Amino acid sequence: MDDELILRKQAVELHLNGVPISEIVQKLGRSRQWVHKWITRYRTKGGDDWYLSESTSPKQMHNRIPQDEEDLVINVRKALEGRIYSQTGALSIMYEIERLGLKSPSISTINRILKRNNLINTSSVKQRKGIEYPDFFTLVQQMDLIGPRYLTGGCRFYFQNIIDTENHYVRVYPIRDKRSTTIARSVVHFWTIYGMPDYLQMDNELPFRGSNRHPRSLGILLRLALFQGVTPIFIPPSEPWRNGMIEKFNDNFQKRFLRPQRFASFEDVEKEAPNYSDFHNENHRYSTQGGKSPNQIISISQDNKLGPINLEDPIPLIEGSVIFIRFIRSDRSLTILGTRFTVKEELVYTYVIAEIVIHRHVLLVKQDGIIHHVFPFAMPVDW
């Protein structure tokens, strides 16, 4: 028998034989509290197992989730995983349970169940801490490219994805190449069926900008945007999380569209991609939208849709602005479209907005609405 159990029995036996508590403490080498504890246990519990240790866990688990409720959440999660294109987060699980005519646990309870069963996917998105980033723009659409991707036989292609940040409405465009005309054609389609934003935000892909050979001669995409009154925004290089909404969509798109399926041809990809876009816009719910899908909240203005346009015709470049968000490092260097500028010391280790004003031929360097520099920036303009 364990030594501890023997000592507990001896303490009670000595007490029953009239041995004073002080002597029991000295004889067994235990504290007075310990001796009193086991004498009390013997008196109150009795029986043959009074000297055995008891569990210290709570007798009642007031916050314990009923097993049938936990099973329901897990089973619905599994069902959603097996359903093509479906989301599997707590919000989607709640709506699916309600769709089945059952009472759903709260979002927090569903998240607890998912966490306990290791069913929560953690995000790998990085953030630069403690440095204010200029993200006050409204009526923004974000655009990004995925690829290249390859099909059996060596067919190479890309995906050009566009999302409206106001309501998460999205379209997926499989494209065979990254030529600026191809990129512009997808944008035209999106603006024709959905509508135009105030700002089009993207990373620094060359076909988005124009040409390295003639860096200040803006490409067809920028000309298209500026001609329609849309201001292009370029996020800082090597900081894709600044386009966080489209990046998160891209991640889900690859998990639910690309990885589970095998396509025989590019034509198959082109045929299926609109189905994914439609499914997302109709079914994917967002907590930031009160649990509504994009189609439930979009308000498309007919006046804001792009009218007929022929990309084969020259697009005039007359006025407008192009915005570059840049982080200034210790060398105080700011490089825009191949030209390097030196900025004030006070801008080091901060983000600035570098805005090319087309018709004024200047580059404005701004922060918090304050213009810190006005640099000459001559560029070809169609007058």
Which residue is listed with tokens 């200029």? 134
Q: Mean pLDDT for the chain? A: 86
pLDDT tens by residue, 10-35 = 888 888 888 888 888 888 888 888 88
pLDDT > 70 fraction of the chain, expressed in percent and rounded: 93
Cβ burial 191-200 (10 Å sphere, 16+ → b, else e): beebbbbebb
Helices (H) and strands (E) in the chain, counts: 12, 11
- Bridge partners, residue 371, by sequence: 366
Alpha-carbon gap, residue 251 to 186, rounded angstroms? 20
Query: What SS3 state is found at 297?
Result: helix
The answer to whether residue 125 scores a pLDDT higher than 50 is no
Q: For residue 59, is pLDDT > 80?
A: no
- Following DSSP, what letter does each residue of 211-270 receive, concatenated? -SSSTTS--HHHHHHHHTTPEEEEPPTT-GGGGHHHHHHHHHHIIIIITT---SSHHHHH
- pLDDT score, position 70: 81
Asked if residue 62 has pLDDT above 80, the reply is: no
Enter the DSSP assignment of 170: E
Residues 354/364, Cβ–Cβ less than 8 Å = yes
**When comparing pLDDT for 284 and 202, which is higher?**
202
Q: What is the mean pLDDT of residues 358-380?
A: 92
Asked if residue 194 lies in contact with residue 302, where contact means CB atoms within 8 angstroms, the answer is: no
What average pLDDT does this structure show over 187-213? Answer: 92
Neighbours of 131 (CB within 10 A): 10
d(CA 367, CA 348): 12
What is the average pLDDT across 204-223? 90
pLDDT over 50 (residue 370):
yes
Measured at the CA of 345, the angle between CA 343 and CA 346, to 5 degrees, comes to: 105
The predicted-structure confidence for 317-361, as pLDDT tens digits, reads as follows 889 999 999 999 999 999 999 999 999 999 999 999 999 999 999
Q: Name the nearest CA neighbour of 223 among 324, 138, 311.
A: 311
Q: What is the CA radius of gyration of the chain?
A: 33
* Amino acid present at 67: Q
pTM: 0.71
Contact 236, 327 (CB under 8 A): yes
pLDDT of residue 29: 83
pLDDT band at 98 (very low <50, low <70, confident <90, very high): confident
